[in-house]
Every structure is written in C-alpha cells, then in structure tokens.
C-alpha cells in the first residue's frame, strides 16, 4: 500500500466532508427541497460526520504512520462509512449546490476503499488476532443484526407491495434508497463477514473490524438523526429506534473488544504485503 495515496485521498475526503457537513448544519436553505424529516436526518448525520468521523479519520492516519494494524483497519472502516454516507447523499438528497461535493466524496471514498481492501494481507491480519470468544460473539452479533435489519425493511416493503400503498417512509421521494443500500450492501457485508469469521477464515478477520466500525459510526449517526427528528417534531417508530439503539451500543462495545484482540506486539503485521528487499 502506498501511504502517499492513502494520506492524500484521506485528506481530500476529510476536507470535502468538513465542507459538506458545515454547509448542511449552517447553510440555511441548502436542504430546502427536502422534507422536514429527511432534512433532520441529514443534519443529524452531518453533525456526527463532522465531530466524530472526520477526527477518527485523522486519528487513523496517525496510527497508519506508526505502522499500526489497528489504525489501518480503523481507517478502512471510516472510509466505508463515508462511502455509504455520500453514495446515499449523491442519489437520495434533493439536488442542491453541493451535489458535486457529494459525488466527489462518493467516488473518492469508493476507489480509496477498494484500493485499501486490495492492498491488505489477510493472512497476516488473521495471525495478528489473539484467540478468544470475542470473535464468535462479533460474528453472531453482526449476522443477527443484519438479519433483523433485513426483516425490518422487507416487512415494510412486502406489506406495501401487497397492499398497493406506498410506505410512509417514502414520503415525497421516488424510492427507498436507504433500504436499498442496506439490503444490497450493508446487510450482505455484515452477514458475509460474520460467516467467514465464525469459520475462522482470514477474510473474516479482515472484514469484521471494518464492518464493525462502519456499523458503530452509522448507528451513532442514526441516533443523532432521531434526536434531530424529535427536535423538529417528526414522529418516530420506537420499535425501529430501539433496534438501532441496541445495534449501536452493542456494536461499539464489540468493536472495542474486537480491536483489543489485535496483537499490537506484531508491529510489522500491519496487513500490508511484505516489501521485497533489494
């Protein structure tokens, strides 16, 4: 992995994210074409992206400079978060003056994530983990949460199809974009990483810490969205909110425990391919 590419791409992602989030929070009228509910959700996510996710991105770059495996996997997780967030903003937010910023963040996060993923040495990563029950707990947790999320979204969609009535969450929009992303990307990623981890496959040890960071950050953003929605007087579905609360709190606890299982004494096991000596 070329660290210069990682640093440059990440700095650009961070700067663009700061522009996008500050604009979303303080530019009056930026979200004027979106509904009250969606505006509240986007502002809630803007807040978490600004005060938590950008600093974590910076922290991960510092750890990468120290050849830290934890830092490398943490970095992959936060880039995954920005990829998910700005793919949804690019396709789902009503057109506004920051459209090209959203597209740039989506594109840069996508190719940076793919580059980082292809650069990982999965066998070294597996060897860096200490054995224990934490891996089994993480695998079962992600599979369970992904399954429950899928059932929750599918029940809404199937009920709508059978009744012929659009779901209330559609509001004034043309499609259920978040549900599509969760069913097509997030849930399969969580289930695949969980199954591979339970089977003790190298890719399971590689994908799980990335997915867990993504789940924890997204869950925190969702809790912020709920707060903003309540402040705007938007009604919430408490069964869904309870699910997201459990998924977020559990995700954070398991993420911290999982990262603690990485053997920091393996300083050279940073997940990168060995560099040949000339």
Residue 253 pLDDT exceeds 90: yes
pTM: 0.91
If one counts every other C-beta atom within 10 angstroms of the C-beta of residue 255, the result is 22
The angle subtended at Cα 89 by Cα 114 and Cα 221, nearest 5°, is 85
The angle subtended at Cα 51 by Cα 251 and Cα 238, nearest 5°, is 50
Is residue 222 within 8 Å of residue 88, measured between CB atoms? no
Tokens at 122, concatenated: 């999965």
User: If you average pLDDT over every residue of the chain, what do you get?
Assistant: 91
Q: What is the pLDDT of residues 154-174, one digit of tens each?
A: 999 999 999 999 888 888 788
Tokens at 49, concatenated: 């992206």
Longest dimension (CA), the chain: 68
Question: How many whole angstroms separate alpha carbon 244 and alpha carbon 253?
Answer: 14
Q: Which of the four pLDDT bands, split at 50, 70 and 90, describes residue 236?
A: confident
pLDDT of residue 173: 84
Instruction: Write out the DSSP string of 131-142.
Output: PSTHHHHHHHHH
Residue with tokens 């992904």: 146
Question: How many whole angstroms separate alpha carbon 122 and alpha carbon 226?
Answer: 37
pLDDT over 90, % of the chain: 81
Question: How many whole angstroms separate alpha carbon 5 and alpha carbon 223?
Answer: 33
């Amino acid at each position: 992995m070329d660290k210069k590419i990682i640093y440059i791409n990440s700095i650009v992602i961070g700067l663009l994210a700061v522009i996008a989030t500050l604009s979303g929070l303080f530019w009056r009228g930026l979200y004027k074409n979106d509904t009250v509910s969606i505006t509240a959700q986007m502002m809630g996510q803007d807040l978490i992206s600004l005060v938590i996710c950008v600093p974590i991105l910076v922290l991960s770059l510092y750890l990468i400079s120290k050849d830290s495996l934890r830092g490398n996997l943490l970095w992959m997780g936060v880039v995954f978060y920005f990829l998910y967030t700005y793919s949804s903003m690019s396709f789902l937010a009503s057109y506004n003056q920051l459209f090209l910023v959203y597209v740039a963040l989506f594109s840069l996060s996508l190719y940076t994530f793919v580059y980082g993923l292809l650069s990982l040495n999965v066998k070294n990563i597996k060897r860096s983990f200490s054995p224990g029950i934490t891996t089994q707990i993480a695998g079962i947790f992600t599979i369970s949460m992904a399954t429950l999320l899928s059932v929750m979204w599918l029940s809404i969609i199937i009920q709508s199809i059978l009744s012929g009535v659009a779901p209330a969450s559609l509001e004034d929009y043309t499609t259920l974009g978040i549900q599509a992303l969760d069913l097509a990307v997030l849930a399969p990623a969580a289930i695949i990483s969980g199954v591979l981890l339970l089977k003790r496959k190298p890719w399971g040890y590689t994908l799980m810490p990335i997915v867990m960071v993504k789940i924890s950050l997204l869950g925190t953003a969702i809790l912020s969205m709920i707060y903003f929605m309540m402040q705007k007087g938007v009604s919430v579905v408490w069964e869904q909110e309870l699910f997201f609360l459990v998924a977020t709190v559990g995700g954070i606890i398991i993420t911290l425990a999982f990262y603690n299982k990485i053997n920091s004494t393996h300083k050279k096991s940073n997940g990168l391919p060995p560099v040949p000596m000339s």
